[in-house]
Structure formats: structure tokens, C-alpha cells
Structure 1
Amino acid sequence: MARCAICGKTSIFINQVSHSHRVSSKKQKANLQKVKAVVNGEKKRIWVCTKCLKAGKVQKAI
């Protein structure tokens, strides 16, 4: 699960702040789903983020 095939979204590093305000680094992964989609007229399984799925940027294969 490296990146979204449509927009290129990938994981990022964020600061995780505790109650006592100690800061540590945390990896936040993108919400990627494996989807059967039509790409160049043929069905393929690709990783797509949920934002692209909601926006309708992917045509799902039936």
C-alpha cells in the first residue's frame, strides 16, 4: 500500500502530542482501498484513496 493510483496520496509523519505535551513522531497512513477499476478499457486492481472514490474519479468495474 504505497500510494493512491489517482492522486498520489501517501503516508505522512505527524507530531503526536500527549496529555503532558510530550511530542513524538507518528506515521499516519492514507485510507487506501483495493478496487477493481476500469483503466484504459481493461479491468485492473488498483489502490485508491477514499477521497477519490467519493469524488467519483474512479470508474468501478462490475
Structure 2
Amino acid sequence: MAKCAICGKSTIFINKVSHSHRVTSKKQRPNLQKIKAVVNGEKKRIWVCTKCLKAGKVTKAI
């Protein structure tokens, strides 16, 4: 997937540790939504994380 157009948040790799302490790598992806937003006065479809949407950092196009 892409990364957030506002904050740049993207996939991170973490270590998943089981009860027996076996370590495997795992991808943790942000909750990205493709929305129509106003960017530089024109409407565009961009990937935005839900944290930026809730904070009001994006103006949605109607």
C-alpha cells in the first residue's frame, strides 16, 4: 500500500513474540483511506490515514 500524503506514515516491521518466545517478523500497516480532498485548490484522490482525518488536517472535496 501507499503512505499517508499528510504525515508520511507507512508500513513498519515489528517482531512478533509468541508465548514460547519464538520471534517472527510481522508487518504493521496504518489504516489508510483513499479520499477526495482539496489539494492546492484542485480536487485529488489521495491516501490519508484515519488519524489525520480525525484531526482535521484534510479538507474533503464535495
- TM-score exceeds 0.5: yes
Q: Quick one: which amino acid aligns to residue 27 of structure 1?
A: K
**Superposed CA offset, 1:4-55 (max 9, x none):** 0000000000011112111111011111100100001111000000110010
**Structure 2 equivalent of residue 16 of structure 1:** 16
Can you give the 5+ residue segments of structure 1 that lack an aligned partner in the other structure?
none
What is aligned with 1:56? 56
- In the other structure, the counterpart of 1:31 is 31
Question: What is the alpha-carbon distance in structure 1 between the residues aligned to residue 45 and residue 34 of structure 2?
Answer: 6
Task: Classify the secondary structure of the residue corresponding to 1:53.
Answer: helix
Amino acid at match of 1:39: V
CA distance in 2, matches of 1:19, 1:35: 40
Cα distance in 1 for partners of 2:26, 2:37 equals: 32
In the alignment of these two chains, the number of paired residues is 62
Give the counterpart letter for 1:58 in structure 2: V
User: How many Å separate the matches in 1 of 2:44 and 2:18?
Assistant: 42
